[in-house]
Amino acid sequence: MSTSETAHRRRRAIPLTGRGFGVDIGGSGIKGAPVDLAEGRFLAERLRIPTPSPSTPGAVADTLAELVREFGDAAGDRQIGVTFPAVIQHGVARTAANVDRSWIDTDVDALFTAVLGRAVHVMNDADAAGFAEARFGAARDVDGVVIVCTLGTGIGSALLVDGELVPNTELGHLEIDGHDAEKRAADSARDRESLSWEAWAARLERYFGVVESLFWPDLFVVGGGVSKKGDKFLPLLTLRTPIVAAQLRNDAGIIGAATLAAEEG
């Protein structure tokens, strides 16, 4: 084993302890909960507040502050982790998915930190979910390259190497056969076109086949709400890479956000 491999595994093996707090901001809802950082589970029931419309920076920041206030002392005093549906580069939103386009080039980290009056670490939503699966879920203790893909309205992706996150991969936007991949392979395409599981699986096989040829991963993990029905489509795929359903389901974003924030803080 090389020195670098040893370093990766040792760093990943150091467990966090105590309480963190995570928030998952989506196009329809803003959800948050305190998280046990050692076990990757909620310490209180998750609270959900509808995302304001229009979902402008000021309106969303005010709703985030309302959610954190609702938890009071249960929100703890550590850095808060917040997911956001965008490419996040050094705290700044470079895209806007399912939220108002005025978010583009907004310093989300600085905005939320100012509104909450405490340290905030903002990250892409799929990255947070993927990190949670690598730390506590279906990819726990898997070395090498892991790709977590969330299949929903679009396709989110998280790339991990020996448990370390490589952020903002946006693999759902690969161009495959002349199409943006998520337009044909996301779960929304299955619903929109009333595809059978077999027909959709054929599209997924094409998508994942391209991804595995680019990255040669050791494991695929499929998240999103449809992962609950993984038995209907995952066995239909004939990839060289093992592919499994996510374990943390809709809790992954909050758990990943809290955990990443605690590590960064």
Level-2 CATH architecture, domain 141-247: 2-Layer Sandwich (3.30)
pLDDT of residue 15: 73
Q: Is 69 exposed, middle or buried (0-12, 13-18, 19+ CB in 10 A)?
A: exposed
pLDDT of residue 1: 40
In angstroms, what CA-CA distances link 67 with 50, 72, 240?
10, 9, 44
In angstroms, what CA-CA distances link 170 with 41, 154, 163, 201, 229?
27, 10, 18, 21, 24
Residue 10 has pLDDT above 80, yes or no: no
Q: Of 152, 144, 136, which is closest to residue 191 (Cα–Cα)?
A: 152
73 C-beta neighbours (distance < 10 Å), count: 7
Q: Pinpoint the residues of the chain covered by CATH 3.30.420.40.
A: 3-127+252-264, 141-247
pLDDT tens column, 176-231: 999 999 999 999 999 999 999 999 999 999 999 999 999 999 999 999 999 999 99
Distance CA 255, CA 242 (A): 24
Which residues are CB-contacts of 126 (< 8 A; sequence separation ≥ 6)? 148, 149, 150, 156, 157, 158
Q: Residue 157 has which token pair?
A: 């992706």
Q: Is 161 exposed, middle or buried (0-12, 13-18, 19+ CB in 10 A)?
A: middle
Level-2 CATH architecture, domain 3-127+252-264: 2-Layer Sandwich (3.30)
Computed over every residue of the chain, the mean pLDDT equals 93
pLDDT of residue 8: 43
The structure tokens 């907004």 sit at 106
- Between the two ends of the chain, the Cα-to-Cα distance in Å is 30
Distance CA 25, CA 31 (A): 6
In angstroms, what CA-CA distances link 93 with 79, 86, 124, 141, 184?
19, 6, 9, 31, 26
pLDDT tens column, 233-247: 999 999 999 999 999
pTM (2 decimals)?
0.91
205 C-beta neighbours (distance < 10 Å), count: 17
**Spacing of C-alpha 176 from chain mean position:** 23
Whether the CB-CB separation of 94 and 87 falls below 8 Å is answered with yes
Whether the CB-CB separation of 172 and 159 falls below 8 Å is answered with no
Distance CA 245, CA 213 (A): 21
| Confidence tier at 14 by pLDDT (50, 70, 90) | low
pLDDT of residue 156: 95
Check whether the bond before 54 is cis (ω within 30° of 0).
yes
Q: Of 234, 210, 214, 235, which is closest to residue 222 (Cα–Cα)?
A: 234
Distance CA 86, CA 156 (A): 10
| Rounded average pLDDT over 27-49 | 96
Whether the CB-CB separation of 222 and 244 falls below 8 Å is answered with yes
